[in-house]
Amino acid sequence: MKRVLAACGLCLAAGCLTERPRPAPPTLALSLNKTTVKSRSTPAPDTLVVTVRAEDADGIDSVWVQLAQEPPVGADGLLDPVLEGPFRLTVPSGVATGTPLPVTVQARDVVGFRSQRDTFVTVGP
């Protein structure tokens, strides 16, 4: 009986020593097609392309990308572990040259954890 208890104790102790995955927010990477944008209405508004890669073993629920105060552009992750692709954002017109415009990327996994990355682009002539 003592041997059985000792064996059970060893198994439990070994189970506590093994590394197990912990829940965590999605990993996020982004790249911009340019760091200087034009704020114009004609001939056509300038666009910024933000390429995003969101990854999470539990699955990606959704990703949003926002430029300044413009409405965010989102995509459904369809619970896949990786969502990767470009987001095209329209640069608002009437912004003064030299103004930094914030770019925010957010991702949420199926468990509800969120990640966020922030950067900016500058309005040029």
Q: Residue 117: give its domain's CATH number.
A: 2.60.40.10
How many structural domains comprise the chain?
A: 1
Residue 8 falls within a domain, yes or no? no
pLDDT at 23: 82
Return the percent helix, strand and coil in the chain, to nearest 5: 15, 50, 40
Neighbours of 80 (CB within 10 A): 13
| pLDDT averaged per 10 residues, the chain (length 125) | 57 59 90 96 93 96 97 96 97 96 97 97 96
pLDDT at 94: 94
Residue 90 falls within a domain, yes or no? yes
Tokens describing residue 47? 């666009």
Residue 11 falls within a domain, yes or no? no
Whether 54 and 28 have beta carbons less than 8 Å apart is answered as: yes
Residue 96 falls within a domain, yes or no? yes
CA 28, 31, 51, 63 torsion-angle sign: positive
pLDDT at 104: 98
pLDDT at 22: 74
In eight-state DSSP terms, residue 81 is S
Q: Per-residue b/e over 1-34, b at no fewer than 16 CB within 10 Å?
A: eeeeeeeeeeeeeeeeeeeeeeeebbebebebee
The whole-model pTM stands at 0.80
Quote the domain boundaries for residue 96: 22-124
pLDDT at 6: 56
Non-local (6+) Cβ contacts of 12 within 8 A are none
